Amino acid sequence: MNSKKHIECVVPRKVRGTLTIKSEDDMEFRADRSTGVSSQQEIAKTAAGKLYRTVGEKQSRMVAHITIPDGEPDPRAFLYDSVEKLTESLQSKAAPRLKGKMLMNEPATRITLSKKEHSIEVVLNIDLKTTPNYQQQLLNLMYKVNQCFAINQNILVSARS
């Protein structure tokens, strides 16, 4: 005996859905879901997009859907901001970058001051391929950081309180 269920299709029949007629009479039909089970489990939603997990028999995935408004001056920054907002509730292994005033922004050195958090973030980057003497490079970068602190001494003192 065959254990599979046989579903008989009755013809003619009506199917609820949406028919979109495009240019040159190209037609697109999307049937309404009759199961009532959503294929998306929403995680977060903003005006610009949503973050959801797919639900079903196949492998589950997390999907981000973001729309960028026409005329957006910096689409890349808009995407980063949107992803940041959508993923606020998710835990991350990496500590987030400090937000605040950039005191130095060079390829090998970035210094950020957050008056709100009374904190300074210093990020140093040494490329080992191009800089075999990495210890000397570290001393040079630390000297630059010290110079930046000296130049911005008044701002740093006011951020302490």
* pLDDT tens readout for residues 18-76: 888 888 888 888 877 666 566 788 888 888 889 888 887 778 888 888 999 999 889 88
Number of domains within the chain: 2
Burial grade of 52 (CB within 10 A; 0-12, 13-18, 19 or more): buried
Whether 91 maps to a domain, the answer reads no
Q: Which residues make Cβ contacts (< 8 Å) with residue 113, sequence separation at least 6?
A: 100, 101, 103, 119, 120, 152, 155, 156, 159
Whether 96 maps to a domain, the answer reads no
Q: What is the pLDDT of residues 97-148, one digit of tens each?
A: 888 889 999 999 999 998 888 899 999 999 999 999 999 999 999 999 999 9
Whether 29 maps to a domain, the answer reads no
99-114 burial code (b ≥16 CB/10 A, e <16): ebeebbeeeebbbbbe
Instruction: State the average pLDDT over residues 4-27.
Output: 78
Q: Give yes or no: residues 70 and 106 share one domain.
A: no
- Which structural domain range is residue 53 located in? 40-86
Whether 35 maps to a domain, the answer reads no
Distance CA 86, CA 72 (A): 19
Helix (H) / strand (E) element for 145: namely helix 134-151
Whether 67 maps to a domain, the answer reads yes
Q: Give yes or no: residues 120 and 146 share one domain.
A: yes
Distance CA 102, CA 147 (A): 15
Q: Give yes or no: residues 155 and 111 share one domain.
A: yes
This prediction has a pTM of 0.46
Question: Do 137 and 131 meet the contact criterion of CB atoms below 8 Å apart?
Answer: yes
Contacts 24+ apart (CB under 8 A), 110-119: 111/145, 111/148, 113/152, 113/155, 113/156, 113/159, 114/159, 115/158, 115/159, 118/159, 118/160, 118/161
Whether 11 maps to a domain, the answer reads no
Q: Give yes or no: residues 71 and 112 share one domain.
A: no
